[in-house]
């Protein structure tokens, strides 16, 4: 039996689940049949993204550590239909392209970035030409072996400059907007998006994206340990029909050291994010089959009192050691200009996410590293942290981890 016929054959088996969560048969065709037939957990809920015509799996696939094309196919078999990728995510786009040989294009949503295929971060800077924006997308399409992107992001707002005005120029670059219009008319990109995990001005930049009327969705860092102004932004987005896809939902992903199972924490964290009606879905990095097993059961689940207890335990254990990616309030306290938030984010990738190579390469590209912290006699950064983190000690440890010959 051909793969396409096999996927279709399971539609009736999942139609009841689809009806319960408001899917309908069309959304149930997203590839759940094989996973369900094998007794595996499958996606139970699909949500419309803002005013677009896209319906995404509430738990979706971040490809920052995508190991192979087979992982894409296994995810689709279990109902995941949204894949977030980028040219600077290693070979992720090529792996998706390989998987596309066995998939119907209209059954998956592919989101990529205006970006170069270099070590992360390789976002196109403000002032890039229209031709560079167009070429970035066309090169992605070749790697992805597809004719179009469903979504293209202006990615990681607040990462390339600490200056709000400079990042706003990148967010609303006339050349980028003109390139998007041309690409859309040519059928190569459908929707425009903006994302931010800081380290600076995340909330201001995402609000600017929402009120500009130029963007179809935003992707913020959003989890149970942050940000006081973000709920207002996602409410504004919903009011304007702008979709919201959450990332960095695991608040540092340090749950491996807690007494309860990893799956309990991840699922509780996801359900906390998804209980917000403004959030259409979330993307989380998936590296192996265990991630599929651990994460997918949260799909369509209600946030319970037990989930809150799990998150409270995590907050007690790690609330004073997790750098809230996107906060950036301590940045100006360093007289030597160390890129504090980026350094600690790369340390998180190295220590908690298992992305050692990416973390080291990204840290090596920083212009102001934490080697200055090793000889700092009077650190002022720690006192500037609103969450009481021992910033100086954390920066020293990060430099040791992220430098080959420290």
CA geometry: angle 374, 379, 383, nearest 5 deg: 140
Q: What is the pLDDT of residues 199-257, one digit of tens each?
A: 778 899 999 999 999 999 999 999 998 777 899 999 999 999 999 999 999 987 765 54
Query: Residue 58: what are its φ and ψ, rounded to 5°?
Result: -65, -35
Q: What is the pLDDT of residues 288-312, one digit of tens each?
A: 999 999 999 999 999 999 999 999 9
Fold category of 43-311 in CATH: TIM Barrel (3.20.20)
The DSSP bridge pattern shows strands 109-113 and 149-154 to be parallel
Query: What is the C-alpha separation between 181 and 241, in angstroms, rounded?
Result: 20
Q: Buried b / exposed e across 279-294, counting CB within 10 Å, b at 16+?
A: bbbbbbbbbeeebbeb
Residues 121 and 91 sit within 8 Å (Cβ to Cβ): no
* 3-class DSSP assignment, residue 286: coil
The DSSP bridge pattern shows strands 55-57 and 46-48 to be antiparallel
Q: What is the pLDDT of residues 137-159, one digit of tens each?
A: 999 999 999 999 999 999 988 87
The pTM score is 0.80
Q: What is the pLDDT of residues 235-245, one digit of tens each?
A: 999 999 999 99
* 3-class DSSP assignment, residue 109: strand
User: Is the predicted pLDDT of residue 364 greater than 90, yes or no?
Assistant: no
Helices 92-99, 130-144: axis angle to 10 degrees equals 50
Closest CA to 86 of 112, 108, 106: 112
Q: What are the residue ranges spanned by the domains of the chain?
A: 43-311, 331-402
Overall average pLDDT of the 277-296 stretch: 95
The DSSP bridge pattern shows strands 217-220 and 55-57 to be unpaired
Say what the pLDDT of residue 326 is: 62
């Amino acid at each position: 039996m051909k793969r396409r016929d096999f996927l279709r054959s399971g539609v009736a088996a999942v139609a009841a689940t689809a009806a319960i969560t408001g899917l309908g048969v069309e959304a149930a065709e997203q590839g759940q049949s094989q996973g369900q037939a094998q007794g595996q957990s499958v996606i139970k809920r699909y949500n419309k993204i803002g005013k677009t015509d896209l319906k995404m799996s509430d738990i979706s696939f971040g490809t920052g550590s995508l190991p192979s094309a087979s992982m894409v196919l296994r995810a689709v078999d279990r109902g995941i239909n949204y894949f977030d990728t980028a040219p600077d995510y290693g070979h992720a786009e090529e792996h998706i392209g390989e998987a596309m040989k066995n998939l119907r294009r209209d059954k998956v949503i592919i989101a990529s970035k205006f970006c170069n295929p270099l070590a992360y971060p390789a976002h196109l800077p403000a002032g890039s030409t229209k031709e560079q924006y167009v070429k970035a997308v066309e090169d992605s399409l070749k790697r992805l072996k597809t004719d179009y992107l469903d979504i293209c992001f202006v990615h990681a707002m607040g990462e390339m400059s600490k200056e709000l005005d400079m990042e706003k120029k990148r967010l609303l670059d006339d050349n980028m907007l003109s390139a998007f219009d041309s690409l859309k008319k040519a059928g190569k990109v459908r929707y425009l998006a903006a994302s931010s995990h800081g380290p600076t001005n995340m909330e201001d930049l995402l609000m600017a994206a929402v009120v500009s009327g130029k963007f179809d969705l935003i992707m913020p860092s959003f989890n149970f340990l942050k940000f006081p102004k973000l709920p207002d932004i996602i409410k504004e987005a919903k009011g304007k029909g702008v979709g919201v896809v959450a990332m960095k939902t695991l608040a540092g992903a340090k749950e491996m050291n807690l007494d309860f199972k990893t799956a309990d924490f991840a699922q509780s964290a996801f359900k906390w994010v998804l209980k917000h009606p403004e959030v259409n879905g979330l993307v989380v990095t998936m590296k192996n089959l265990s991630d599929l097993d651990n994460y997918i059961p949260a799909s369509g689940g209600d946030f319970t009192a037990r989930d809150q207890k799990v998150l409270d335990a995590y907050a007690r254990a790690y609330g004073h050691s997790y750098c809230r990616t996107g906060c950036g309030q301590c940045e100006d306290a360093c007289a030597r200009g160390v890129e504090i938030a980026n350094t600690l984010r790369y340390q998180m990738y190295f220590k908690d996410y298992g992305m050692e190579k990416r973390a080291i390469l990204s840290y090596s590209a920083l212009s102001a590293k934490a080697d200055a912290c090793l000889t700092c006699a009077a650190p002022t950064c720690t006192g500037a942290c609103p969450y009481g983190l021992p910033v100086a000690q954390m920066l020293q440890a990060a430099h040791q981890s992220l430098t080959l010959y420290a």
